[in-house]
Amino acid sequence: MHMKLFLVSLLFSITTATSAQDKIPATDKSPMDMSYCPANYPILKVQDKLNEPLLARLVYSRPAKDGRKIFGELIEYGKVWRAGANEATEIEFYQDVLISNVRVKKGRYTIYTIPFEDKWTFILNKETDTWGSFRYDSKKDLVRLDVPVSKQTTETEFFTMYFEKDNKEIKLQILWDDIKVTVPVSLP
């Protein structure tokens, strides 16, 4: 009798556990991505090919253009934007850097932007782990920097952020649609 009760209990537990696994979250339309400075840092580390320390890691979601008019419509001019989709974009610096002559201590920060037709205001904010820009608080801004907009001859389908490095200067490149914005970062 105890054995039958045990087997029924075990079968119930297995069935319940299996049906709980069937509730997989839907795939997000704007997948999360990561960019490193230096580029491909984890791969270089595993291959023992590193010749410089890790400076920064960027975590962001990559929405698609998907036939939409992006700037001036989907992303309104003059309004704070999370620089991507879903969670606000976060950057972690592994050493102190300079952005717009402001010394930024190593640590994790959120990136916001305010796009305009001819320039963007790049914002580095102390608040982290937040969704979108719904609770953006300018009192927590560490850096505000206006950077010019460059028009591209080809369109970038997916919102893209990556680092380019040249000696002591790092350029955070932000591309989407036919727009490119470059944010200069340097080592102190």
- For residue range 45-90, list pLDDT tens digits in order: 888 888 888 899 999 999 999 999 999 999 999 999 999 999 999 9
Residue 31 lies in a domain: no
pLDDT(180) > 60: yes
Nearest-angstrom CA–CA distance, 36 and 164: 10
pLDDT(8) > 90: no
Count of domains observed in the chain:
1
Residue 12 lies in a domain: no
Cα–Cα–Cα angle for 127, 87, 144, nearest 5°? 45
What is the mean pLDDT of the segment spanning 157-162? 96
pLDDT(2) > 80: no
What is the mean pLDDT of the segment spanning 161-188? 92
Residue 108 lies in a domain: yes
| Model pTM above 0.85 | no
Give me 69's structure tokens. Answer: 């008019």
pLDDT(159) > 90: yes
Burial label for 69, CB within 10 Å (0-12, 13-18, 19+), is exposed
Residue 19 lies in a domain: no
Q: What is the pLDDT of residue 6?
A: 46
3-state SS, residue 50:
coil
pLDDT(7) > 90: no
Residue 103 lies in a domain: yes
- Domain span at residue 148 reads 41-186
C-alpha distances in Å from residue 53, one per residue of 58, 82, 163, 181: 15, 28, 14, 25
pLDDT(23) > 70: yes
Residue 49 lies in a domain: yes
Find the distance separating the first CA and the last CA of the chain, reported in whole Å: 75
Q: Average pLDDT of the chain?
A: 88
Residue 154 lies in a domain: yes
What is the mean pLDDT of the segment spanning 24-31? 79
Residue 32 lies in a domain: no
